[in-house]
Structure 1
Amino acid sequence: MLFRQLEYLVALSRERHFARAAQACYVSQPALSEAIRKLEDELDVPLVRRGRKYEGLTPEGERIVVWAQRILADRDALKDEVGALRTGLSGRIRIGSVPTASGAVSQLTGPFCAAHPLVTVEVIADLQSQDILRQLQNFEIDAGITYLHKGLPEGFQAVPLYQERYVLLITAADGLAHRTTATWADAARLPLCLLSEVMQGRRVLDELFAEAGLSPSPRVETDSVAALFAHVRTGRWASIVPHAWLHVFGVPHGMRAVPMVEPARTVPVGLVTTAREPGSVMARALTETARHTDVAAALERLPGEPGHR
C-alpha cells in the first residue's frame, strides 16, 4: 500500500492536478485523494495544500516527494536486478537526449538491443541539458546524452561518446559553397537560421561566435534541427549545425556542408547517469554498451571524408 501511496503523491506533484494525477495512475480521483490522506495520517504531516482546487504541495510534501522518487526508483531497480538474474535484462529503458545528439542515441540503441533483446527503448530527443539532469535526478529517465564541456554537477557520472564540431549549411548556389572551410566571420555575414537561445546547442554557438569577437543576429530561431535544414533548403537562409546530424539527414541535394574554422572548436558529448549505487540496472547496462561502442568512429568524420565508415 505504501508504494501505491507514494506513486500517487509523485503523480500529483508531476501533474499538479488531482484528476490528471488519478488518470495517470489509472484510479479514480476519490481513491487517489483518500490514499494521499492516509499517507498524511501515517506520516503525521500535511502533504497537500488544499483549497477549492489543488494549490500545491506543502514544504513537507515537497521533501516527501523527493524521498518517494528515490524509494520508487530503488524498488524498480530491485525488480529489474532480480529479473535480470533470472531471465536476463527485460523491461523498458528511458533515454533523454539533447536534440543535436539524436544521432548518437541511434549508435547505442542498436548494440544495446542486440545485447538485451527483452528490453524496449524509449527515447525523448527534445530535452535541454538542464532538463536531462533534472529528469535523471527525479528518476524520470535512466540515462541522458548531453554536452560535457562544462563538467557535471555532483551526483552525476559520464562516459564520453564523441566530439561535436560544426559545419556551415548553405545552398550549392551560395558563394561559399566551393570553399573547403568557412570562418565564423563568414557565417556572421549571412542571413542565419539558428537554434533558439534557450537551447544548450545555441549557447555553444554563441560562445564560439564570441570567441571570434562576433555577435550575430539570426533572423529565424527554432528548437528543431530538422527545421534548420528545411529553412536552408529554401535558399533564403544559412545555418550552423553539428556535423553529427549529417549522418542522420545526409547533405541534401542542392546543399553544401562546409566545416567551420577560426575557431575550429569541438565540444564533448557523452552519456550521463546518476552516480547513486547500485543505481538502475538499465543505466548500468547502457553504460557498459557505451564503453564498448566506438561512437566517435561513426560520428566524428564528415560523410565522404577519407576514413569515414
Structure 2
Amino acid sequence: MLFRQLEYLVALSRERHFARAAQTCHVSQPALSEAIRKLEDELDVPLVRRGRKYEGLTQEGERIVVWAQRILADRDALKDEVGALRTGLSGRMRIGSVPTASGAVSLLTGPFCATHPLVTVEVMADLKSEDILRQVQRFEIDAGITYLRDDLPEGFRTVPLYEERYVLLTTAGNGLGHRPTATWADAAQLPLCLLTGTMQGRRTVDGLFAEAGLQPSPRVETDSVGTLFAHVRTGHWASVVPHAWLHVFGVPPGMRTVPLVEPSRTVPVGLVTSAREPGSVMARALTDLARRTDVAAALERVPGVR
C-alpha cells in the first residue's frame, strides 16, 4: 500500500468525480483509477461503486477513507514535526472560521506568522460551524474558529477566545442610533438585513429574537457580514451584527451602533482542534499562541472610538 493510493482515494471521496480527483492529484484519470483498483485488490474489498460514471464509495470504501485521512494526517504531522526539529516550524497551516468570527482570525495569524516566518497560512472564512467540525475531524484543516456549543462532540480540544455579543447597526438619521441601548423589539420594527438562516450566527440571532417573543422578517439575507455593512450604508436598512466586526470596520461615517438588550446575551467563540494525539504540530503551535493571546481585549479596541 502506498500513500499515493490513499491520497487518490481521499481525493475521489472529496471530489466525487474521477476526472476532477485526478486533476487535483495532478495525474491522469487512468492512473488514478488503476491505483485505486490495486488498492482494492490489496485490501480485498470493493471501495468504489462503478457504473457508467462514478456512483459513490461502497460501505467499505467509506470506512477506508476515514482510515486513509488519519494515516495521511499522521504522515504530514510527522513530516512537520521533523521539520520543526531541524529548522523550526514550516509548511502550510489551514484555518477555518465561521463568517461572524473571521474578523478575529487576524489577531492570531499575525503573531503566529511573526513567530513562525517559514509558515504560510490559508484561511477559509465562510464555513458553517458544522463544516468546521467535520473538516477538523477529517484533517482537512488544522484548526477552526467557531461557536463553542455545550453539545460539542467528543474528540475536540477548545480554547475560548471571546464572548460574541450583538449590536444594532443603523444609520445616524435613525432615532435609535442616538440611544444608549436598544431592545430586540426595537430592532424587529426596522427594515432588516440579516445573515442567512443556514448560518449559526443567524440561528443565534433568531434565538434572541425568540426570547423576546419576536420573529424577524428580514427583507435581505446574505452570508457575508461585509454585505450587511454595505446595505446599512445605503440608508435603507438596519442590521444586527457581531460586536467583534467593529474591530475590523469600526463604525463607518453616517452609521451608529447600539448595544442590544432585553435580552442581553453572549455566545462563546473559540479555537477548536482535534484531540487526537500526537496531532498536528501546526495546531499545537496555534493553540499555544491562542492561550497566550487576549483576543477579547483586542476586540474591544474599536478603530476611531476611544
1:296 aligned counterpart, secondary structure = helix
CA deviations 1:53-91 (Å, max 9, x no partner) are: 111111010100000000000000000001101110000
In structure 1, the residue matched to 2:205 is 205
Shift of 1:304: 5.9
User: How many positions carry a matched residue from both structures?
Assistant: 306
Q: Distance in 2 between matches of 1:301 and 1:206?
A: 27
Shift of 1:228: 0.5
Equivalent residues of 1:164, 1:268 under 8 A apart: yes
Q: Distance in 1 between matches of 2:305 and 2:76?
A: 45
Letter in 2 for 1:135: Q
Shift of 1:248: 0.8
Letter in 1 for 2:74: D
In structure 2, the residue matched to 1:5 is 5
In structure 1, the residue matched to 2:33 is 33
Q: Distance in 1 between matches of 2:6 and 2:216?
A: 49
In structure 1, the residue matched to 2:17 is 17
Equivalent residues of 1:40, 1:47 under 8 A apart: yes
Letter in 2 for 1:217: S
1:216 aligned counterpart, secondary structure = coil
| Alignment map for 1:50-199 (pairs within 5 Å) | 50-199=50-199
Q: Distance in 1 between matches of 2:301 and 2:19?
A: 50
* Consecutive aligned runs of 4 or more in structure 1 exceeding 2 Å deviation: 300-306
Equivalent residues of 2:247, 2:301 under 8 A apart: no
In structure 1, the residue matched to 2:253 is 253
Equivalent residues of 2:250, 2:304 under 8 A apart: no
Q: Distance in 1 between matches of 2:301 and 2:241?
A: 14
1:218 aligned counterpart, secondary structure = coil
1:170 aligned counterpart, secondary structure = strand
What 5-or-longer segments of structure 2 have no aligned partner?
Answer: none
Q: Distance in 1 between matches of 2:176 and 2:302?
A: 18
Letter in 1 for 2:185: A
- Quickly say closer, same or farther: Cα 1:114–1:301, change in 2 above 3 A: closer
Shift of 1:217: 1.0
In structure 1, the residue matched to 2:273 is 273
CA deviations 1:258-281 (Å, max 9, x no partner) are: 111111211110000011011000
CA deviations 1:143-198 (Å, max 9, x no partner) are: 00001143421101100001111110000111111111111010011111000000
TM-score normalised over the length of structure 2: 0.98
Shift of 1:49: 0.7
CA deviations 1:123-145 (Å, max 9, x no partner) are: 00000100000111111100000
Q: Distance in 2 between matches of 1:46 and 1:216?
A: 50
Shift of 1:251: 1.0
Seq. identity, %: 85
1:208 aligned counterpart, secondary structure = helix
Equivalent residues of 2:95, 2:123 under 8 A apart: yes
Q: Distance in 1 between matches of 2:163 and 2:305?
A: 16
| Alignment map for 1:287-298 (pairs within 5 Å) | 287-298=287-298
Q: Distance in 2 between matches of 1:30 and 1:227?
A: 44
Shift of 1:2: 1.2
Shift of 1:300: 3.7
Q: Distance in 2 between matches of 1:8 and 1:303?
A: 47
TM-score normalised over the length of structure 1: 0.97
1:278 aligned counterpart, secondary structure = coil
Letter in 2 for 1:60: E
Letter in 1 for 2:64: I
Q: Distance in 2 between matches of 1:103 and 1:27?
A: 38
Q: Distance in 2 between matches of 1:220 and 1:149?
A: 27
Q: Cα RMSD over matched residues?
A: 1.1
Q: Distance in 2 between matches of 1:147 and 1:291?
A: 17
- Quickly say closer, same or farther: Cα 1:69–1:225, change in 2 above 3 A: same
Equivalent residues of 1:91, 1:118 under 8 A apart: yes
Shift of 1:27: 0.4
